Amino acid sequence: MPDADGSASLRSTRSTCPYCGVGCGVIIDSLGERVVGVRGDPDHPANAGRLCSKGATLHLSARPDTTAQVRALHPKMRTARDAPLARCDWDTALDEVAARIADTVARHGADSVGIYASGQLLTEDYYVLNKLARALLQTNNIDTNSRLCMSSSVAGYKQTLGSDSVPCCYDDIEHADLIFAAGANPAFAHPVLFRRIEEARRHKPSQRLIVVDPRRTDSARAADLHLPIQPGTDVALFHGMLHLLIWEGRVDAGFVDTHTEGFEELKRIVRDYAPDTVARLCGVDAADLVQAAQWWGESGAVLSLYCQGLNQSSQGTAKNSALINLHLATGQIGRPGAGPLSLTGQPNAMGGREVGAMATLLAGHRDLANPVHRAEIARLWGVQAIPSRPGLAAIEMFEAAADGEVRALWIVCTNPAQSLPNQTVVRRALERAEFVIVQDAYESTATGSYADCLLPAASWGEKDGTVTNSERRISRVRRAVRPPGQARADWAIAVDVARRLEARLRPGHCTLFPYSSPEQIWNEHRETTRGRDLDITGLTYAMLEQEGPQFWPFPQGSHGGRARLFDGGVFQTTSGRARFASPQYVAVAEPTDARHSFALTTGRLRDQWHGMSRTGTVGRLCGHAPEPCVQLHEADLQLLGLEQGDLARVASRRGAIVLPAQASEELRRGQAFVAMHWGEEVFGGHGSSGAWFGINHLTLDARDLHSRQPELKHAAVRIEPARLPWHYVVFGRVGGARWLSLQRSLRAHFATFDYCACVPIWAGDDADGALLLRAAAARPPDPARLEAIEAQFGLDGSDALRYDDARRAVRRRVRIDGARMIGAALAGDRATLRAEAWLREWFDSGMPLQLTPSQLLSSRRPATAQPSRGRVVCSCTSVGEQQICDFLQHFSGAEPESALREVLRCGTECGSCQPELARIAASIKRSL
Ligand code: SF4
């Protein structure tokens, strides 16, 4: 809103963070149509003003110079498969989308169309897409990337509690005596919640934390007890704990008798899970297992937190149910501090569950397989019927497209060419589908390059609606600025396609999509919840405006939502009793063997989120874990003959990729870890079977029978040295946000090399972008290729110092401006690349340095070069690991972490680095 003098005044808008399921409230500061800042909302109950490193930098991802490089700004179409996308107007794009979908339905039936959406959509967006698929197209082929995230949680809750109802809330963190985190690393994945756990433990020293995780993550290091189980053995562990609880007489017999059923059958199963057996299966000490069961049994209130470690598994439902069994057997549910709290990875995975926008569900927590539920929804929507044919879940949808059965794919707000397992099949699906619609805020994603039609969508700060966080709390999402270019809200795009389709498929009946605002859509959604476990008929947009976020259920006539469920011991089953599930432990779908002897697991980085399409645009978030790598135990590294940073070939039964190897204290022998974020946007290469793309070239699509969630957390791999003698690195300042489009254009070179990664360099300045490309190959490529790459970094001019030895394929380019380093390129064997270390230190320092040309082209570090600050640990203050270690080496006081905060200022802002600061302080103390 401009002032009287034409200038814009600062406006503050309350909204929600678009990343993880904690659902933190944010205040967006904007000037005119520009987001200029973001703060934690002190009044939002999920975070009380706190934000993590990702949430606190949201405004940087919304800068106009960033937006111009990566956002989808205009509708685009392709005239032929090999033609480039060309800009068109909205009417042309929407008419074409409706015509192609209608034509596909006419020729091949409704099930030849698949809609694949996202847990990042708002509830209103989901609702329209869901109705469009089921009521209008008459197909149940609608699923979302929440299938990769929490569908096993849904199945686990329904199997045991009778409904997809999270029984507890974040306030239970303070009430709990024991927090049991299984398959979750909240220090990285849900940082604001982890800050809350840290604080609760400070105020209540008797509160215990147990972490179950194959890796010794920052969350595990902070725990009183870490159970480093072998991947996939969670069911055995939980059964083993129940075995001990029964043996020790810690079962709440009154609760079991009055409020549950099926305990005798479960007792029979867990009889076989004696401590020694379980310790052997899980790879943990029997004493630790006994300790965990004892702490569980003696705690007044036990809260379990769990996430992808349980969900992303071919036994995901069994793992969820086996954990819930422990709560039911000990009566740890329905009271303060007690219950199983599934943490969602995405901001609105819960909203998707509520509107039923997943192939197996229906609106209002109904089941597609239930004819009564289908009839209820058909009546509410005013259509004759909801089709009974089961819909295709995510993996099946892409398999069907690869097989030619699904012919039109509409992909909304997600990046399957990065995130789905077994990318060979996914890529075949995207190539074979006759029409691929990509509706996204970002044009830069790997999936974007497969679009036949690109529909530009609004993103965070630009749209209105609601989301539900992990604790069932509904928050308003508010628009602070207009979307850039011609981008539009997802619900509005879906409504415009739906109306055009309705005119073609139901001529004369254009009534299904009368919406002109998100509130109208939400009001209709609200009606689908009437009488259901998530009934919100007592809630309105106006109440959310006036009174802030609210829990569901909130039925008509009530005075508020309910923080906890099942406090009366009545569950959503036919009998009203909770049901014990009795799964047997089943090993991972792909066990290791002599040929594939490493257990590969995947997980999150602290400062990145999903496929990095947003967080990967913020330079300061790229300093903590700058380059893709495979982590291994130090002894395995040695056994393989690898040194830190050497390239390793990691091969699964589906493909092979190359990655730098890194020693990690987090892993046990025989384990390997690669972060899930790294996709084709960042790294790739050429192997014996052609080009490869990111980590999901290795992962497998085996899935859980009930939840259909794939086993992204485990694959058996073979690891060996990559034996690539020729190495290449080029880096430089490229000015402002131009590095983003440069990073994208450099992807075209990836397949030239056997390994190639292209990542931003964080040099402590948000406005001064810099990029690094690292590559390796069995044979040096054509020098003209390298000249083309170096030209993009400005290293081709006469002002760059040059050295070439064509016989040895050695080359160097160094460009300085005055005495300031601008960029460099080095190629040759590993010895040639030794110069990278000091050139990078000089580059990162930004300091002037007077050197002769021969010094500049030498591998030897000049005595006057600046020392490095090391890898960034605190991304808010840009404090590096070396700075922290140097400080602590000379610190002799009692409280090193307070001293670090006081002197270096690290850890003083968002707090995401606090667990790592504690870890470094402890390790320096041990070494002194
Ligand atoms: Fe966003 Fe971080 Fe809060 Fe998650 S914990 S909602 S990523 S600010």
**What is the structure's pLDDT at 894?**
84
Contacts of 594 (CB under 8 A, 6+ apart): none
Judged against a pLDDT cut of 80, whether residue 766 lies above it is answered with: no
What ligand 1 atom has the least distance to the C-alpha of 609? Answer: 7
Summarize the confidence of residues 269-293 as an average pLDDT. Answer: 98
Burial class (CB in 10 A: 0-12, 13-18, 19+), 562: middle
> From atom 2 of ligand 1, which residue's Cα is the shortest distance away?
52
Percentage, residues of the chain above pLDDT 70 = 99
Please answer whether residues 914 and 920 qualify as being in contact, where contact means their C-beta atoms are separated by less than 8 angstroms.
no
What ligand 1 atom has the least distance to the C-alpha of 20? Answer: 4
Summarize the confidence of residues 641-655 as an average pLDDT. Answer: 96
Is 52 close to ligand 1, i.e. is its CB under 6 Å away? yes
- Among 19, 38, 460, 606, the mutation site with the greatest number of ligand 1 atoms within 8 A of its Cβ is 19
Is 620 close to ligand 1, i.e. is its CB under 6 Å away? no
Summarize the confidence of residues 416-441 as an average pLDDT. Answer: 96
What ligand 1 atom has the least distance to the C-alpha of 17? Answer: 1
The span from the CA of 761 to the CA of 231, in Å, is 34
Grade residue 698 by pLDDT with cuts at 50, 70 and 90: very high
Is 58 close to ligand 1, i.e. is its CB under 6 Å away? no
**What is the structure's pLDDT at 926?**
85
2-11, 75-84, 910-919: which has the minimum mean pLDDT? 2-11
Please answer whether residues 814 and 803 qualify as being in contact, where contact means their C-beta atoms are separated by less than 8 angstroms.
no
What ligand 1 atom has the least distance to the C-alpha of 193? Answer: 5
Is 54 close to ligand 1, i.e. is its CB under 6 Å away? yes
Chain position carrying tokens 């700058």: 626
| DSSP designation for 246 | H
Is 20 close to ligand 1, i.e. is its CB under 6 Å away? yes
Which stretches does DSSP call E strand in 701-799? 715-721, 726-733, 755-760, 770-777
What ligand 1 atom has the least distance to the C-alpha of 22? Answer: 6
**What is the structure's pLDDT at 832?**
84
CA separation (Å) from 545 to 14, 476, 542, 833?
Answer: 10, 7, 5, 58
Is 24 close to ligand 1, i.e. is its CB under 6 Å away? yes
- Among 50, 190, 193, the mutation site with the greatest number of ligand 1 atoms within 8 A of its Cβ is 190
* CB atoms inside a 10 Å sphere around CB 596: 18
φ/ψ (deg, to 5) at 872: -65, 130
Summarize the confidence of residues 185-210 as an average pLDDT. Answer: 97
Is 55 close to ligand 1, i.e. is its CB under 6 Å away? yes
> From atom 4 of ligand 1, which residue's Cα is the shortest distance away?
20
Judged against a pLDDT cut of 70, whether residue 5 lies above it is answered with: no
Grade residue 688 by pLDDT with cuts at 50, 70 and 90: confident
Distance 462 CA to ligand 1 centre (A): 18
* Structure tokens belonging to residue 555: 């039925």
Judged against a pLDDT cut of 80, whether residue 6 lies above it is answered with: no
Grade residue 823 by pLDDT with cuts at 50, 70 and 90: very high
**What is the structure's pLDDT at 847?**
81
Is 22 close to ligand 1, i.e. is its CB under 6 Å away? yes
- Residue 455: alpha-carbon gap to chain centroid: 23
pLDDT in tens, 828-863: 998 888 889 889 888 888 788 888 888 888 878 887
Judged against a pLDDT cut of 60, whether residue 1 lies above it is answered with: no
Distance 554 CA to ligand 1 centre (A): 25
Is 23 close to ligand 1, i.e. is its CB under 6 Å away? yes
The span from the CA of 27 to the CA of 51, in Å, is 11
Provide the β-strand partners of residue 727: 776, 828
The span from the CA of 648 to the CA of 833, in Å, is 18
**What is the structure's pLDDT at 848?**
82
pLDDT in tens, 112-156: 999 999 999 999 999 999 999 999 999 999 999 999 999 999 999
pTM of the complete model: 0.96
Q: What sign results for the dihedral spanned by CA atoms 211, 216, 218, 222? A: positive
Is 608 close to ligand 1, i.e. is its CB under 6 Å away? no
Is 887 close to ligand 1, i.e. is its CB under 6 Å away? no
Distance 26 CA to ligand 1 centre (A): 10
The tally of CA atoms less than 13 A away on the side-chain side of residue 219 is: 33
Distance 357 CA to ligand 1 centre (A): 24
> From atom 3 of ligand 1, which residue's Cα is the shortest distance away?
24
- Residue 423: alpha-carbon gap to chain centroid: 17
Summarize the confidence of residues 612-638 as an average pLDDT. Answer: 94
455-469, 669-683, 859-873: which has the minimum mean pLDDT? 859-873
Judged against a pLDDT cut of 70, whether residue 320 lies above it is answered with: yes
> From atom 5 of ligand 1, which residue's Cα is the shortest distance away?
192
Nearest C-alpha neighbor of 747 from the set 703, 844, 681: 681
* CB atoms inside a 10 Å sphere around CB 772: 23
Mind listing the domains of the chain with CATH numbers? 10-70 (3.30.200.210), 85-146+348-551 (3.40.50.740), 151-342 (3.40.228.10), 589-721 (2.40.40.20), 724-866 (3.30.70), 872-927 (1.10.10.1100)
Residues composing the chain: 928
Judged against a pLDDT cut of 70, whether residue 901 lies above it is answered with: yes
Distance 22 CA to ligand 1 centre (A): 6
Distance 24 CA to ligand 1 centre (A): 6
Is 629 close to ligand 1, i.e. is its CB under 6 Å away? no
Summarize the confidence of residues 733-748 as an average pLDDT. Answer: 91
What ligand 1 atom has the least distance to the C-alpha of 55? Answer: 8
